Amino acid sequence: MIPVEKTIVRAPLPATTARLPGDLHPVLRRVYANRNLTDGAELDRGLSSMLPVSLLDNSTDAAALLHQTIEERKRILIVADFDADGATGCALAIRGLHLMGAENVAYLVPNRFQYGYGLTPEIVAVAKELSPSLIVTVDNGISSLQGVKVAKAAGIQVLVTDHHLPGPELPDADVIVNPNSGNNGFPSKNLAGVGVMFYVLIALRKRLDEAGWFSRLGAAPPNLAQLLDLVALGTVADVVPLDHNNRVLVHQGLQRIRAGRCCPGIRALAKVAQRTLPGLVSSDLGFAIGPRLNAAGRIEDMSLGIECLLAEDQGRADELARRLDSLNSTRRKIEQEMRLQASELLAALPLSGGLPVGLCLYRKEWHQGVIGILAARIREYCHRPVIAFAPAEEEGVIKGSARSVPGLHIRDVLHAVAVSNPRLLQKFGGHAMAAGLALQRSDLDAFSHEFDCEVRRRIDSESLRGIIHSDGELEADDLHLALAELLRAAGPWGQGFAEPLFDGIFCVLQRRVVAQKHVKLILQLSGGGDTVIDAIAFNQAETDTGAATIHAAYRVGVNEYLGKRCLQLLIEYFQAVPD
């Protein structure tokens, strides 16, 4: 695939940073202001600055329903999604309910290849064999109208906890807790599914405490903060925007992981990913631990990932983590083959008029569990909304995974297509940046046309440019380990609160290709004295022109090798500077 040409654009100098603490490092002050953080109160990452559970509509009703089921010692069945958010949310629910004295808790996670997403009638039929009194969905359920209906008809109560956007009709569940549902007044609409479940557990603990439950057990109310390692992992892995409330949750979880106060499963996943707990950052959760957990749901069955997170014995957790690591290696091989096939499809498209603005790609050989990653990779190269399709289990049906670009709400696009073409889409759902859908293979050409037209109606040419937003230039005096450490500690960084990215002109003193695809560089800031800087550009060997002077967009990182720590620039993109 030939990447879209990129342009580095520096953010304008902030108009004011007066409300930020005066002792902030000037670079950090600039970075925060570029992310519209201008109030010092938003720098508070203590648990006391979390939004109170009382603001989350229906959380009290959810607590009452759980309380009744626990008191009556009836079975609670957690039905989770098959991604990292669902897996962490499921493990969180089970661990949290056990901490509060619930004795009869089980879980069920649909196999994506057999049952598909959500609380379907088919998965309810499986659930009935476990004789639950209450089904609690985690990270799904808001679109499961038929599944909820079937469960209720069977005499099973249903508590939906979800964060996905609802359709025009809500399921007839006993209770729905979703910050994005109806007129829910919760100030943060960005909670991940695991975050919603965490808030429900907080409400339940309050309810049980007021009812004297813990006194009757002869125990103190549990400290649910011990579960924040799971909340942090699921929140980052689900790529939800890190608003202030999510930054608090992720920071607190990371603090516990770094101190070694995390579940054996996360410790084991960090180990197979070759990450040390004390130095773990949010990007490690998103790009190292999360993918290994997700590999279970993509390639095999997410029950393997959930069991890893529930393991109490470190040896058992290590064994499961090794199996997850092996699945992730398999996923990478499948993805690489699919990327080569996608390149062939792109090369075969007619040149007249250029690529579709809304791009749909399908091959019958593609793996259903990997199309989301493939769509994201193609989006990165072509910088346009992409849907990758693979065959579904049902004869003649294909499933698609969509990834969008900033400024285009992909689920709204699918909704518009569905409204104007009522019979085209069988089902769809998702977020602003990612969505899933299903349709007949015979309707793919018609859908591709409608999708492209709808995207063209909603997007401008500026959004299709490969723009790299920079926080500006760093002076030679700033290019040192201390600033890298400061920025690392100033996060957590992630979706909607991007890790600081800078740019500058550098002279290339040395370069070499490592592992056949990465470029290792020794740089000197142009006009910035004699300071020599280590740098690496991952996966950019093919685009390196060998120029003596480059314009680079980079992050300041910390390279640890043989016990030594030094500054290293992580180059996201670089281009030659003309002589």
Q: Are residues 481 and 416 in the same domain?
A: no
Which of the given ranges, 29-43, 97-111, 459-473, has the highest pLDDT on average? Answer: 97-111
Tokens of 232: 């942090």
Q: Are residues 200 and 302 in the same domain?
A: yes
Asked whether residue 38 is domain-assigned, the answer is no
Q: Are residues 241 and 133 in the same domain?
A: yes
Asked whether residue 379 is domain-assigned, the answer is yes
pLDDT number for residue 17: 64
CATH code at position 265: 3.90.1640.30
Asked whether residue 21 is domain-assigned, the answer is no
Average pLDDT over residues 443-456: 96
Identify whether 492 is preceded by a cis peptide bond (ω within 30 of 0): yes
Q: Are residues 472 and 509 in the same domain?
A: yes
Q: Are residues 226 and 361 in the same domain?
A: no
Asked whether residue 385 is domain-assigned, the answer is yes
Query: Would you give the distance in Å from CA 390 to the centre of its chain?
Result: 22
Asked whether residue 288 is domain-assigned, the answer is yes
Average pLDDT over residues 550-579: 91
Residue 552's φ and ψ, nearest 5 degrees, are -120, 140
Is pLDDT at 65 greater than 80 in this prediction? yes
Cα separation, 337 vs 341, whole angstroms: 6
CATH code at position 473: 2.40.50.460
Asked if residues 21 and 40 have their Cβ atoms less than 8 Å apart, the reply is: yes
Q: Which residue carries 């603990």 as its tokens?
A: 205
Asked whether residue 346 is domain-assigned, the answer is no
Among 4-8, 101-105, 317-321, which stretch is predicted with the lowest mean pLDDT? 4-8
Domain closes at, from 464, 485, 514: 464
Q: Are residues 409 and 301 in the same domain?
A: no
Q: Are residues 428 and 482 in the same domain?
A: no
Asked whether residue 338 is domain-assigned, the answer is no
Q: Are residues 293 and 420 in the same domain?
A: no
Strand partners, 283: none
Res. 227 pLDDT band, cuts 50 70 90: very high
Domain that holds residue 495: 6-12+468-576
pLDDT number for residue 4: 62
Q: Are residues 265 and 367 in the same domain?
A: no
Asked if residues 105 and 78 have their Cβ atoms less than 8 Å apart, the reply is: yes
* Surface-to-core class of residue 191, CB atoms within 10 Å of its CB (0-12 exposed, 13-18 middle, 19+ buried): buried
Asked whether residue 320 is domain-assigned, the answer is yes
9-56 residue pLDDT tens = 998 876 666 678 888 999 999 999 999 888 888 999 999 999 999 999
Strand order in the sheet with 175-177: 105-108, 76-80, 134-138, 157-161, 175-177
Q: Are residues 114 and 260 in the same domain?
A: yes
